[in-house]
Amino acid sequence: MLGPLAVGLALLSAFLTFIVLADLTPVSPTHNVVVSLLLANAVTVVLLLGVIVREVWQVVQARRSGRAAARLHVRIVGLFSIIAAVPAILVAIVASVTLDRGLDRMFSTRTRAAIENSLIVAEAYLRDHAQIVRSDIMVMAYDISGSKPVVDADPGRLAQFLTFQASVRGLGAAIVIDRNADVVARADLKINQVFAMPPREALANITEAGPQLVLLPDTNYVSAIIKLTRFDNHYLYVTRLLDPNVVPQLQQTQESVREYAAIEQRRVGVQVAFALMYTVIALIVLLSAVWIGLNFANRLVAPIRRLIGAANAVSMGNLYVRVPVRPSEGDLGHLGETFNRMTQELRTQRDDIVRARDLIDSRRRFTEAVLAGASAGVIGVDGNGCVSILNRSAEKLIGRSESDALGKPLVEVFPELADIMAAAQAGSRSQDQVTISRHGRERNLSVRVTSEQSPESEHGYVVTLDDITELVAAQRTSAWADVARRIAHEIKNPLTPIQLSAERLRRKYGKVIVEDRAVFEQCTDTIVRQVDDIRRMVDEFSRFARMPKPEIAADDFADTVRQAVFLMRVGNAEIDIVAEVAESPMPARFDRRLMSQALTNIIKNATEAISAVPQDELGKGSIHLFAFREGEDIVIDVIDNGIGLPKENRSRLIEPYVTTREKGTGLGLAIVGRIIEEHGGSIELRDAAEKIPGQRGAWVRVRIAAAGKPEAPEQSNPMSTSEQPNVS
């Protein structure tokens, strides 16, 4: 209530000031009254200014704190202030200029000359009558002085003489007085007017030389007095009446001249007083308009501010906010009602969307859990052929992370699937087997492409990947083991009769045959020697076919590595065989005998690869073996500077009877692969340059679990007969 009270008091004070200065009240605008009004106006201005400063400070604070609609509030207040201030300032300027121009005209040269001329005319009128009175009194004084003997003889003749002279000359009075200002003789005139007598003190200054004129401003006559000659201290005093129509004008002219002079002296003060009064009134009106603008801005901005605050709350996700609606706010109140209906509708729609989202999210989590736990790799492909889904198994199979593959074309991420995807998109075959190579290791995958049941614009595909590498390897190994058993059975039976027959021929006919005896001995020795070689080969076939089941036990893997290296170092003194074991001891669960056999075979293959290099190119043969832990696994790296491994079909060197050496059986790495497989590990064939840049040779990496191969339940063969790989 302080704001309206301050505005009311200020406007009332300004109104009272105006009507008092306009002389519309019984109160006269004296100096004290004007000062009191100015003080009252100043008090109301200070009070109103304090209210406005408080309101403006609140607006500024709201602007600094970023309160809703603060900028709009400032703009509205500024607009109202400008609208109120500009007219007031313009009127103040016009009023000041008008007042100044008016005063300039009032105090201009022509105005001053006119007033001065009117005074001169009035004074000339007085001087004219004064000259007439002067002439009359001098003539009358001369005549009285000449008739002194007559007057002395008859004193009554003096009064008659005065009456006659006053009547003839139109005088108002003619009196002879002595030095005590007592009347000696008076003209008998019928004029009902009392004339002021000269004071006795002034008579001493009057001489016979000339009369003294007396111009009294408040009287309607002029008077003169002269000392009579030949009379003892007698004086003649005469008056002459002025025109009764001229005297008031003369008095007004004198009053106007005095007032004009006083106003001219107070010109600056009048300008300052009027300017100050107008400034105070204009300031009151301006501040009142500013406060009204502030109040109006507050009322206008309040609903907008509530709307903005509610909109901010909605933007933060709170759809339960409601805007208070007041009927007095008009269209803004209607806008608040519309906003409340909108938030209610949005809340209903959001609840429906949230329920649908929760349902979809639960299904998605279920699907993701199924995909994440599936052993098969699953790849989602959209209608443009780009990857949209990639589970963990697929990441491991293709060797790329989901973040790296999403959004990219499938043929770029997995080039090996280009043909089968093209066939699936063409509507032909949707299942096949592919061979991929990742990190130096080949894998056999069974690929199945399924089309999504969706509209044509959203049509996509689901690619399922099954890793059948171990299954294919197991089938091949099983097939080769069966072949080995059959070969060993079929070949080993006739070897003994052949060998016995050759030895019997040599014993029985060796002494009898004289001609070509050397040839005979050589042939029989060759038969026996080749039979031994065939028997040794058959024994290797038998050992491969009858690989013993590993006996897993806790042991020191570092010691096993050192023993295998020591034995191979003794048998190959010409080659530097160095073993570097990161930890000692290195506890693990494995079959010591089989693992020693595997390491021996790997080092033996390395020595054979070194011996295959010409001596002039080899230099010093070297084999480096590194054994270290990597997480939960034990890793063994064997690097040589031999002839190296072939680029093509490198992964098939682990299969039985696949070799690149002329006299190799192809069972060394196959046995190593079987042993590592039985320990739940893996074997990788790489180039030495990948480990040691610039070095020639091979790099064989073996990885086994330090805790041993986990127990796994027996599973039926997931592949149908039509899907069995051809291993014959």
Cβ 658 vs Cβ 681: under 8 Å: no
The residue among 622 and 241 whose pLDDT is bigger is 622
Average pLDDT for the chain: 76
- Count CB-CB contacts under 10 A for residue 431: 15
**pLDDT tier at 682 (50, 70, 90 boundaries)?**
confident
**Rounded CA separation 683/439 (Å):** 11
Query: CA 308, CA 370: separation in Å to the nearest integer?
Result: 46
Instruction: Give the distance from CA 602 to its chain's centroid.
Output: 65
Neighbouring CB atoms inside 10 A of 693's CB total 7
Q: Which comes out higher in pLDDT, residue 187 or 456?
A: 187
CATH class, 137-259 region: alpha beta
CATH architecture assigned to 374-467: 2-Layer Sandwich (3.30)
Q: How many helices (H) and strands (E) does the chain have?
A: 20, 17
Q: How confident is the model at residue 639 (pLDDT cuts 50, 70, 90)?
A: very high
Distance CA 211, CA 202 (A): 13
> Are 464 and 376 within 8 A, CB to CB?
yes
**Domain spans of the chain?**
2-106+266-310, 137-259, 374-467, 493-545, 553-723
CATH number, span 553-723: 3.30.565.10
Q: What is the mean pLDDT of residues 320-348?
A: 79
Q: What is the pLDDT of residues 191-202, one digit of tens each?
A: 777 777 888 777
Q: For 510-573, where are the alpha helices, taking DSSP H only?
A: 517-545, 557-571
pLDDT, tens only, 292-308: 777 777 777 777 777 77
Query: Across the chain, which distance is largest between two alpha carbons, in Å?
Result: 241
Least confident of 186-190, 362-366, 718-722: 718-722
Q: Kindly report, residue by residue over 116-151, the tens digit of the pLDDT.
A: 667 676 667 777 777 788 888 888 888 887 777 777
pLDDT greater than 80 at residue 80: no
User: What pTM was estimated for this model as a whole?
Assistant: 0.37
Whole-number percent of the chain with pLDDT over 90: 5
Q: Which of 51-60, 487-496, 538-547, 559-568 has the highest mean pLDDT?
A: 559-568
Tell me: the pLDDT tens digits for 259-274? 766 666 655 556 666 6
Strand order across the beta sheet in which 441-451 lies: 387-390, 377-381, 461-467, 441-451, 431-438
pLDDT at 625: 93
Q: How many CB atoms lie within 10 A of CB 40?
A: 18
The pLDDT value recorded for residue 634 is 92
pLDDT of 364 strictly over 80: no
Q: What is the pLDDT of residue 128?
A: 77
Phi, psi torsion values for 40, nearest 5 degrees? -60, -45
Range name among 130-134, 185-189, 263-267, 520-524 with the lowest pLDDT average:
263-267
pLDDT score, position 720: 37
Assign 517 a pLDDT band (cuts: 50, 70, 90).
confident
Instruction: State how far the Cα of 377 lies from the Cα of 398, in Å rounded to an integer.
Output: 9
User: Stretch 353-358: mean pLDDT, rounded?
Assistant: 88
pLDDT reported for residue 362: 85
Secondary structure (3-state) at 341: helix
Q: What is the pLDDT of residues 427-474, one digit of tens each?
A: 665 777 777 776 656 677 888 888 766 555 556 788 888 777 767 666
pLDDT in the model for residue 127 = 74
| Residues ≥6 apart with Cβ < 8 Å to 386 | 407, 408, 409, 410
Is the peptide bond between 718 and the residue preceding it cis, with omega within 30 degrees of 0?
Answer: no
Instruction: Specify which residues 698 forms β-bridges with.
Output: 687
The four Cα atoms 46, 47, 53, 56 give a dihedral, to 10 degrees, of: -140
Q: Which pLDDT tens digit goes with each residue over 591-601?
A: 888 888 889 98
Between CA 479 and CA 668 the distance in angstroms is 17
What's the half-sphere exposure (Cβ side, CA atoms, 13 Å) at 241?
16
Listed in order, strand segments (DSSP E) in 546-688 are: 553-556, 576-581, 587-590, 622-630, 633-640, 682-687
| Confidence check: pLDDT of 361 > 60 | yes
pLDDT confidence of 719, banded at 50, 70, 90? very low
Integer angstrom CA distances of residue 25 from 13, 15, 21, 39, 603: 14, 12, 9, 19, 130
Per-residue pLDDT band at 543 (split at 50, 70, 90): low
Would you say the CATH fold of 374-467 matches that of 137-259?
yes
Q: Encoding tokens for residue 231?
A: 């009379």
